[in-house]
Structure 1
């Protein structure tokens, strides 16, 4: 992949920081030549790793969207699953963590979404960040997380979110109204200070999470005076031995291969 194209997908529109700016610290300029060369090598290796790991690019784009376009709820994705009849089904899903292992999201295990994933684990996510003229499509297979992982995530949510999951949004809204008034907040604060701590909300037995293990990342962006569409696609090639590089396939130290294309209206 050309350095120009890589810098375009890694750059953060309107941001002073970018993953593409993996340069030695300023104080390295005064370091001995040997140290400087070593730091340059480490920076180059880190930049090469960025090229090879598409989740790093996705995480960079997600951070940029959260900073520059929070109104579009950047973590909200259109998820596509397949029903028993083989027909695609879509709905909006909010993702949680983005790690080298994959992308996690949570849902009610007895829902239609969970049933379709259990029957056919092939899942696709589509993120559309229109203000930044960027979109990302991620597809792969989803597997259910353990109960311990689900409980850990449940405890991370604010109390009103836990109540909404456990008892429903109406109950959570009523509880929030009871706590949101001025005197109610004072009474609640005094109770927490001198009384017993609030009871722990139990996680519902039918609530859990999934880990989406990606096999494809597709980054799309509009740029240029004619709004040319650029798409960069990373595909996981498990059949290819790690480290293999052929004339027709671009692959370095990882099992991701990539290609790109540009379209003009």
Structure 2
């Protein structure tokens, strides 16, 4: 029995390890290698999950943007804990991230909002995300009215915000032969030179 090469040379810092895998996914995934499932929960523990695009990853954590009045936004306001799961099918790899969620500074949110295409900005400004909508025609009419009212720069709505998931734990998973997968879990450790401790887990 043979196994795939084991990632024994993973960096001590999981963000660096993620960056390496993410770069590979950028060349192998046909669409959106930055897509991840985002799980949130109510204060009572009722979960919900949806796909988001993670737009920035750095040593602070994993950044995404959304309407703060959406379901995920209201859940994060009440219970600022979340989890992300990246799955790169072409590479047979998965990354799980768990931690607390903080608001990004307004200046960063403004910069990203205005980097988007104009039509995307208009749609984000108009959408009352997660709330009932009478018809497609109503949505298109509201977008048209907002477009005519703002021929210049599109103002970012105060409810359109950015979030950063500050990881307390990151797990890297790599497919193995005969389901003998490779799993490495990093957890925060203030006593470690890298700030993290890494352990191998059973598949």
- TM above 0.5, one fold? yes
Greater Rg by CA: 1
Question: Hey, which of these two has a bigger chunk of strand by percent?
Answer: 2
Equivalent residues of 1:140, 1:215 under 8 A apart: yes
1:59-208 to structure 2, matched below 5 A, reads 59-71=19-31, 73-168=32-127, 171=140, 199-208=152-161
Residue 78 of structure 1 and its aligned partner are, at CA, apart by 0.9
Residue 107 of structure 1 and its aligned partner are, at CA, apart by 0.6
Is the aligned partner of 1:259 residue 2:199? yes
Q: Which runs of 4+ in 1 moved over 2 A?
A: 3-7, 167-172
Number of paired residues?
182
Equivalent residues of 1:164, 1:171 under 8 A apart: no
Indicate the RMSD between aligned Cα atoms, in angstroms: 2.3
Equivalent residues of 1:133, 1:221 under 8 A apart: yes
Question: For 2:24 and 2:69, how far apart are their aligned partners in 1?
Answer: 34
Question: Hey, which of these two has a bigger chunk of helix by percent?
Answer: 1
Question: For 1:129 and 1:204, how far apart are their aligned partners in 2?
Answer: 33
Question: For 1:124 and 1:134, how far apart are their aligned partners in 2?
Answer: 17
For structure 2, list consecutive stretches of 5 or more residues without a partner in the other structure.
Answer: 128-135, 145-150
For structure 1, list consecutive stretches of 5 or more residues without a partner in the other structure.
Answer: 11-50, 176-197, 243-252
Q: Secondary structure at the match of 1:55?
A: helix
Question: For 2:195 and 2:52, how far apart are their aligned partners in 1?
Answer: 28
Equivalent residues of 1:163, 1:171 under 8 A apart: no
Question: For 2:168 and 2:19, how far apart are their aligned partners in 1?
Answer: 16
Question: For 2:117 and 2:22, how far apart are their aligned partners in 1?
Answer: 22
Describe the superposition over 1:73-125 as per-residue Cα deviations: whole angstroms up to 9, x where unpaired. Answer: 22111111111321222111111100011111111011121111121111100
